[in-house]
Amino acid sequence: MTVEATLQHGQPEMTKRMQLHAHVSQLQDENGLQYLEIDNPLATGKIALQGAHVMQWQPKFLSDPVLWLSSNARYIKGRSIRGGTPICWPWFGAHPTDSTLCPHGFARVIPWRVMDIDATQTGATRIILEMQQTPEAQRQLSYPYELTLTITIGRRLRIDMATTNLAEHPFVIGEAFHTYFNVSDISNIHITGMQDCVYMDKLLRYERNVEHNALAFDGKEYDRVYVNHSADCAIHDSGYNRIIHIAKSGSDATVVWNPGAEKAGSMGDMGTADEWRKTICVETTNALDNMVVINPGRKHTLSAEYSIETL
């Protein structure tokens, strides 16, 4: 299959498969990209090693996936996959001084390597990945650091990203789990946990306002950064009769984004027709007012845990 055909159909063909653990296989696609497929008694999941990108997670007690994955996502070296949980690191949004560098940082398009796989006491699968120090990564950030991601796939999905400063000076990072949740329809949901919080509206030149209500969506683009927001939040979905709970730590901002019809239509990888209506990004973040300073020899961890309550 050619790259063009891959773009059109959204799902690349797998050419190699290798069992790494009782519940984990490693696959390689026709473009040379590697993936992990997880199937344990509690859940199934899929991770792209480019970007340490959780593409799919579905607890076995649920009939609908929790993460949204675009039907025309691109599976190409150096491109981020549209859907799942892209990792934004070491900056969020545009690079502060160099607009030629990858938006949301390079960690989402660099290959990561598997460091360890084990099973937890509850039967979940825990996978530890480390970002590779490729020339492309070094070109964009020259000082020494270590970046690891621990992904735990079970009835809950937990992601912990640890940044260790190996340099002799402090450094500052922006970061996020840019998670695309699967919802029945954007008009069926509301999000709680942001009431009384200050947000910066990216669509109004970062104007600040206070959020008074639960968040609701009318199909127009929505792009807000809730600053100084370290509380948990929840997506209430009256169509799927479920609540997605988002618990977090090491995060002082939350971004909520949906492109709306017009922008989705211009993006090229947001799926066909109204697929954009089936997702909302709720991003566990440190950005803008809440970037993180990491001192030499210190480690900072960003964590999110997603769980589902059926109604």
Ligand X SMILES: O=P(O)(O)OC[C@H]1O[C@H](O)[C@H](O)[C@@H](O)[C@@H]1O
CB of 102 to ligand X, least distance (A): 8
Distance, in Å, from the CA atom of 132 to the CA atom of 135, rounded to the nearest integer, reads 9
Does 223 sit near ligand X (CB under 6 A)? yes
Smaller CB distance to ligand X: residue 65 or 103?
Answer: 103
Please give the positions annotated as active site: 178, 283
Binding mask 157-196 for ligand X (x = CB under 6 A): ---------------------x------------------
Distance, in Å, from the CA atom of 143 to the CA atom of 139, rounded to the nearest integer, reads 10
Does 300 sit near ligand X (CB under 6 A)? no
> Pick from 281, 282, 288, 292: which binds ligand X (CB under 6 A)?
281
Q: How many residues bind ligand X (CB under 6 A)?
A: 10
Site for ligand X, residues 31 to 90, rule: CB under 6 A:
80
Does 101 sit near ligand X (CB under 6 A)? no
CB of 231 to ligand X, least distance (A): 19
Does 128 sit near ligand X (CB under 6 A)? no
Q: In the bound complex, which residue of the shown chain has the CB atom lying closest to ligand X?
A: 257
Binding mask 232-261 for ligand X (x = CB under 6 A): -----------------------x-x----
CB of 287 to ligand X, least distance (A): 9
Does 104 sit near ligand X (CB under 6 A)? yes
CB of 8 to ligand X, least distance (A): 20
CB of 274 to ligand X, least distance (A): 18
- Residues interacting with ligand X, by CB under 6 A? 80, 103-104, 178, 202, 223, 255, 257, 281, 283
